[in-house]
């Protein structure tokens, strides 16, 4: 027989609180917007009528727990310190002036918008009365300006935004009631207080009906004035939420797009989160699944916000130009709502089914080629171009950022090896060929690993005291990295007939190409090879037609176009090529071929041409000129329309290039001939 002993001393243990009771308490105490609270109450009411043993009960509990856990009103205060933010951005990255300026502009706008202060305009045609009121209000700490009549007051309202206007009723040119009506049209948020020595019930009622907030009789009771203005100052509405910009960092790989996003979050004092979109194909990954599906989950956006615990982080949408599209939907279409400042204040996740405000999130997208984005999506983004680095910038970045980090990561700190600037330049010129610094960082890491191995093989420990630091100079780099993998092809080549050096821009930066043209006996046929796109083939035909039309000017026998076949080729045939900027290069290659005069290999050119021989401006000038400098080009021929782009680059980067601007093909030909 089993006996149970009755508890006789001590308090009884509290009965366990049910899940529904806990959720009820959380709903009532949580700081939720009204629509979210109503949705939570509806779901809770449905759960109270559901059998706890059915699967829908657990689904409902998980939904309510998730809804209550979202950061509806939790935000990180922005660090509105412009000098501090500028120091963070400058310390983390070299150059990128446009990007840093955009972030500092955003901070400056936030600082001005959040600036506290109550602005008052005093209007009275009696100078003494107006001066007394201004003096009293300034002593209370308000920002005060004055006007002697209604017309002057309206001019002030057009130039300033005031929180309060204190105006006399009877004035010349425009009385107080007329000023009240006009001011409410110009600045509806401005409040108006009337002061008069002819106070009557009728005028007071008329003023209040037109929108005046208070009515004071002269002589003014200063205590009543102070208390009334203080009350209006406390009632001043908080500024509306400042919508965060939606930026898109566009540029070649390795130019610092992702790391700049992290620096922006650090400068603002916000949390940072990165979402990789490369290969994303399912729309539900972003917008979530509806709860009717088994195992439904919220989208990655709300999941990330729930994990971070704040509603205003810095969100980096990495590789937005590589989002896929298939039968499951177009994920890029979600961005039309999520990245639109006019719509993302009411973003609806399929799982949550309650609008969530994303307007405080600072979205930063990254892309290598914005041409891959749809027009509506691109229209919602503020594109900030990240351009390639010059050789001098790469050397400074390596010395200030990359090399110190690599030395610390490989334990080469006791003592630090000495890597000369000449050695870094050898690595930049001979072992990398890129617009960014990703491969440069990799090659510097290889040098550090070689040095670490040599230090241990030499018997010096990781922290040997008194060890002599190793000096890595230009002569030692080939011993550590092997023979140079890249040569300055344009600088060493000799002039050739029918071969022109062109400049092109791709997603990975600028590059040089060699357009080759030969002719042989035939029937005037044209052959083009090298994986050329349709636009590039049309440019070649345009160039050929122009050269044929100028045969007499160029001293070409017209009959050769009918008796000789022409073959145009651009090497690296496995790489597709497209674009119109090779038109000038094609025209000069053909002119050289048919005139028999060689073109200089160290003269590169770019530009689109018309059928009449005019050279039109093209894009990517900075990347193209950097590519020309890397390849050893001495002279660059550019369209006249690109003069501002080229001059700005030449002055800021110190490229040793002779830049010549032309308007027509015939102007460019003598500049390229040997």
Query: Could you tell me the CA-to-CA distances from 521 to 425, 525, 526, 563, 567 in Å, in that order?
Result: 48, 10, 12, 6, 11
Residues in Cβ contact with 534 at an 8 Å cutoff, skipping those fewer than 6 apart:
578
DSSP string, 186-250: H-TT-EEEEEESS--HHHHHHHHHHT-SEEEESSP-HHHHHHHHHHHHHTPPPPPP-PPPEEEEE
Of the candidates 506, 516, 673, the one whose C-alpha atom is nearest the C-alpha of residue 602 is 673
Q: What is the DSSP letter of 614?
A: B
Which of 244, 359, 390, 581 is catalytic? The answer is 581
- CA triple 347-301-284, angle to 5 deg: 85
Report cis status (omega within 30 of 0) of the bond before 415. Answer: yes
What contacts 241, CB < 8 A, 6 or more positions away? Answer: 359, 360
Q: For tokens 């369209």, what's the residue?
A: 639
292: left (phi over 0), alpha (psi -120 to 50) or beta: alpha
- What separation in angstroms does the CA of 341 have from each of 34, 140, 244, 360? 22, 39, 8, 10
- Residue 215 to residue 238: CA distance in whole angstroms: 25
- What token pair was written down for 218? 């002269």
C-alpha distances out from residue 259 to 47, 172, 346, 460, Å: 46, 63, 30, 36
d(CA 136, CA 149): 20
Place of tokens 């900030």: 384
Q: Which of these, 378, 377, 369, lies nearest to 257 by C-alpha position? A: 369
The active-site residue out of 100, 257, 394, 624 is: 624
Give whole-number Cα distances, 656 to 628, 629, 631, 653, in Å: 10, 7, 12, 9
Instruction: Based on the residue annotation, tell me whether 374 is a catalytic residue of this protein.
Output: no
Work out the end-to-end distance of the chain between its first and last CA atoms, rounded to an integer number of angstroms.
116
Residue 298: CB atoms within 10 A of its CB come to: 23
With vertex at residue 335, the alpha carbon angle to CA 377 and CA 313, rounded to the nearest 5 degrees, is 120
Establish whether 90 is a catalytic residue. Answer: no
3-state SS assignment for residue 4: coil
- Asked if 525 contacts 561 with a C-beta cutoff of 8 angstroms, the reply is no
For 128, the 3-state DSSP assignment is helix
CA 454 to chain centre: 43
Task: Give catalytic residues, as residue numbers.
Answer: 581, 624
């Amino acid at each position: 027989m089993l006996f149970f002993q009755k508890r006789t001393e001590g308090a009884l243990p509290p009965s366990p609180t049910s899940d529904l009771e806990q959720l009820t308490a959380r709903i009532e105490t949580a700081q939720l917007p009204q629509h979210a609270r109503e949705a939570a109450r509806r779901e809770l009411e449905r759960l109270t009528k559901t059998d706890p043993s059915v699967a829908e009960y657990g689904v409902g509990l998980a939904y309510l727990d998730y809804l209550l856990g979202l950061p509806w009103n939790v935000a990180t205060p922005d660090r509105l310190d412009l000098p501090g933010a500028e120091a963070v951005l400058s310390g983390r990255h070299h150059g990128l002036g446009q990007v840093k300026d955009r972030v500092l502009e955003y901070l400056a706008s936030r600082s001005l918008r959040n600036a506290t202060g109550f602005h008052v305009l005093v209007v009275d045609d009696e100078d003494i009365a107006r001066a007394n009121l201004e003096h009293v209000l300034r002593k209370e700490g308000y920002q005060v300006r004055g006007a002697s009549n209604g017309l002057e007051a309206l001019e002030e309202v057009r130039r300033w935004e005031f929180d309060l206007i204190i105006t006399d009723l009877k004035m010349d040119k425009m009385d107080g009631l007329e000023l009240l009506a006009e001011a409410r049209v110009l600045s509806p948020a401005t409040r108006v207080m009337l002061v008069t020595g002819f106070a009557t019930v009728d005028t007071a009622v008329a003023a209040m009906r037109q929108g005046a907030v208070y009515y004071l009789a002269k002589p003014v009771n200063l205590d009543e004035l102070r208390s009334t203005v203080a009350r209006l100052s406390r009632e001043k509405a908080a500024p509306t939420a400042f919508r965060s910009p939606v930026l898109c960092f566009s540029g070649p790989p390795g130019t610092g797009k992702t790391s700049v996003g992290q620096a922006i979050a650090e400068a603002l004092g916000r949390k940072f989160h990165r979402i990789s979109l490369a290969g994303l194909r399912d729309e539900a990954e972003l917008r979530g699944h509806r709860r009717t599906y088994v195992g439904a989950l919220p989208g990655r956006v709300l999941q990330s916000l729930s994990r971070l615990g704040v509603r205003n982080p810095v969100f980096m949408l990495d590789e937005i130009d590589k989002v896929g599209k298939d039968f499951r939907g177009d994920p890029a279409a979600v961005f039309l709502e999520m990245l639109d400042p006019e719509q993302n204040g009411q973003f609806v996740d399929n799982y949550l089914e309650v609008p969530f405000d994303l307007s405080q999130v600072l979205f930063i997208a990254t892309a290598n080629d914005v041409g891959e984005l749809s027009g509506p999506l691109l229209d919602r983004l503020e594109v900030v171009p990240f351009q390639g680095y010059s050789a001098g910038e790469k050397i400074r970045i390596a010395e200030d950022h990359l090399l110190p980090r690599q030395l610390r990561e490989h334990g080469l700190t006791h003592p630090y090896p000495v890597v000369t600037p000449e050695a870094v330049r050898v690595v930049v010129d001979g072992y990398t060929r890129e617009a960014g610094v990703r491969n440069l960082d990799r090659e510097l890491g290889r040098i550090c690993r070689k040095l670490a191995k040599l230090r241990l093989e030499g018997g010096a420990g990781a922290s040997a005291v008194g060890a002599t630091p190793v000096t890595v100079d230009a002569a030692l780099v080939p011993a550590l990295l092997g023979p140079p993998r890249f040569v300055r092809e344009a600088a060493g080549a000799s002039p050739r007939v029918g071969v022109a050096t062109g400049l092109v821009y791709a997603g990975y930066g600028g590059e040089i190409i060699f357009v080759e043209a030969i002719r042989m006996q035939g029937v005037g046929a044209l052959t083009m090879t090298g994986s050329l796109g349709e636009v590039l083939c049309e440019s070649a035909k345009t160039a050929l037609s122009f050269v044929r039309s100028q045969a007499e000017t160029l001293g070409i026998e017209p009959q050769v176009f009918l008796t000789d076949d022409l073959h145009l080729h651009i090497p690296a045939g496995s790489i597709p090529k497209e674009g119109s900027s090779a038109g000038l290069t094609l025209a000069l290659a053909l002119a050289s071929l048919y005139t028999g005069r060689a073109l200089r290999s160290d003269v590169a050119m770019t530009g689109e041409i018309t059928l009449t021989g005019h050279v039109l401006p093209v894009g990517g000038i900075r990347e193209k000129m950097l590519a020309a400098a890397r390849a050893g080009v001495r002279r660059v021929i550019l369209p006249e329309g690109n003069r501002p782009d080229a001059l700005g680059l030449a002055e800021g980067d110190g490229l040793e290039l002779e830049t010549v601007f032309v308007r027509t093909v015939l102007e460019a030909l003598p500049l390229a001939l040997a």
